[in-house]
Amino acid sequence: MKSADFKYESLKQWIIEGIRAGTFRHGDKLPSENFLCRKFGISRQTVRHAMADLSEGGLIKKVRGSGSYVQKQRPMGSSKTVGILVSHVDDYLFAQILNGVEEVLTSDGFGIDLGISNNSIELERKFLQRVLDTNMVGLIVEGTRSSLPNPNIELYEEMRRRDISIVFIHNYYENFPCASVLMDDIAMSRELTGLLLKAGHKRIAGLFKGDDLQGPRRYTGYVEALRDADIPVREELVGWFYSNYYDNIMLEMNLDHVVMNLAGYTAIVCYNDWIAEEVYKLYQQNNIKIPGDISLVSFDDIPLARYIANGITSGQHPHKLLGIEAATRLLKMLREGIAAVPQQPRLMPYSISVRDSIKDIGETR
């Protein structure tokens, strides 16, 4: 073996043994090219060749302009499976999101393990434990009751200790900084409320979900729009509902109580299109017309929105694109390490589908 070849192999072996011994740990920056040239008496080109071999083998990653770093190594027995935990899958939105996630991950050879929380802390905990027990490499998750303190945070922290990549969708936990992909709920709500204000409405009610981060965020946009128009936020015009009432008979009973006790409003901002449909049914029972008596706007713009009261104005959900964005970010973390993706929200672009659910009342009310 030529001397240069021997030194080239010696450099590679020195780095490999350093990683195995723990001298170089995951995320550590390796010595500079100049240092390695001097230590092994080889050229910069030879150092770069050796580093390229190690990078192709998955031991290190090269960051342009920064240097070479030790790559995360999968533990023995780990799978190439990514967990996906969502609140429910029996509607249009989540089917589209899952299509986007699947398109990205399966094309790169990853399998998917799907869990459904039904907004239950207990079901969330069981799935998170499954992620840990089966050595999944990543998780895309919609948080459960995300506006409230979560008793499962220690499981998320354990995932972070094990270098399991995590991306939240729709929400995140305030006390667990993490990569997330969100709708721009605040801006969208501000714009939807603004459409009502432009039509002359001043007594605008709001109906929001209290235990999901999207609810307070949409409420924030509603409040900002009113304040920008110098209109006071009236407590008697804001109603809240919670997960216990969702998707069961108690939801209808709760909405009946909340909506019919909102005082003297001419327009309403609904948390999403499913809630808007329930409100519309309630209005029908009480001979209230949309938009003749009450103007209404909503969120998500699912196909249902086109058929409520001949079509309601609704903020568009990014659907499949949100799933693609979340999976792409997770894939980057799996390839390059968790630090490769900002551990903060990515807000998706949005648009509003304007339909005939807003009545221009000018100064008549």
Task: Provide the pLDDT for residue 363.
Answer: 61
Q: What is the largest CA-CA distance in the chain?
A: 94
CA angle 270/276/278 to nearest 5° reads 130
Task: Look at 253 and 310; give whichever has higher pLDDT.
Answer: 310
Q: How confident is the model at residue 76 (pLDDT cuts 50, 70, 90)?
A: very low
In order of 51, 52, 154, the CA distances from 56 in angstroms are: 9, 6, 35
Domains 3-70 and 185-317 share a fold: no
**CA-to-CA distance for 318 and 143, rounded, in angstroms?**
18
State the pTM of this model.
Answer: 0.78
Runs of H (alpha helix) within 177-265: 185-198, 214-228, 249-261
Q: What is the pLDDT of residues 290-303, one digit of tens each?
A: 999 999 999 999 99
Q: Across residues 214-240, what is the average pLDDT?
A: 96
Record: fold of 81-183+320-348: Rossmann fold (3.40.50)
Rounded to 5°, the CA angle 101-108-131 comes to: 60
- Three-class DSSP category at 164: coil
- Domain ranges for the chain, please list them: 3-70, 81-183+320-348, 185-317
299 and 218 Cβ atoms separated by less than 8 Å: yes
Residue 326 structure tokens? 């979340």
Q: Which residue has the tokens 């001979």?
A: 287
Residue 243 banded pLDDT, cuts 50, 70, 90? confident
Number of Cβ within 10 Å of residue 141's Cβ equals 29
CA 291, CA 143: separation in Å to the nearest integer? 35
- CA dist 142 and 72 (Å) reads 25
Homologous superfamily of the 185-317 domain (CATH): Response regulator (3.40.50.2300)
Right CATH for 3-70 from 1.10.10.10, 1.20.120.790, 1.20.140.10, 1.10.150.120: 1.10.10.10
